[in-house]
Amino acid sequence: QSVLTQPPSASGTPGQRVSISCSGSSSNIGSINFNWYQQLPGTAPRLLIYNNDERPAGVPDRFSGSRSGTSASLAISGLQSDDEGDYYCAAWVESLSSRVFGGGTKLTVL
């Protein structure tokens, strides 16, 4: 079982706003900062959000992140068909000296 838990799937219609959660098991995580990645079909992952809520250059402001304690959320507004793919949260867990990824959430645009 992953240290970071994501829902396996999410969906929305074009133009809608969707959120994807990432919950950390609090027993050994402590205070962590979350990053989010997007993986479109057949491509390498791409960094979407780092340090909980910051966007790298080139990432549209339709994508936003937030953190609350040992959990985080990725929100996508103005959903587009091109957003369909897999989304992963990730963090460095100091107590484990390990990077961890959530199991991933498959986003479907209906």
Partner 1 sequence: EVQLVESGGALVQPGGSLRLSCAASGFTFSSYSMNWVRQAPGKGLEWVSYIGRGSSPIYYADSVKGRFTISRDDAKNSLYLQMSSLRDEDTAVYFCTRDSGKTAADDYWGQGTLVTVSS
As given in the structure block, the two tokens for residue 19 are 């959120």
- Residue in the structure block whose two tokens are 């999410």: 10
Task: Identify the residue among 20, 37, 72, 85 touching partner 1 (CB under 8 A).
Answer: 37
Distance of CA 79 to the CA centre of its chain: 15
Give the interface segment with partner 1, choosing from 13-21, 22-30, 47-55, 76-84 (CB under 8 A): 47-55
Question: Rule CB under 8 A: is residue 92 a binding residue for partner 1?
Answer: yes
Residue 84 token pair = 């369909």
Q: What is the binding site for partner 1 (CB under 8 A)? A: 33-35, 37, 39, 44-47, 50-52, 54, 56, 86, 88, 90-92, 97-104
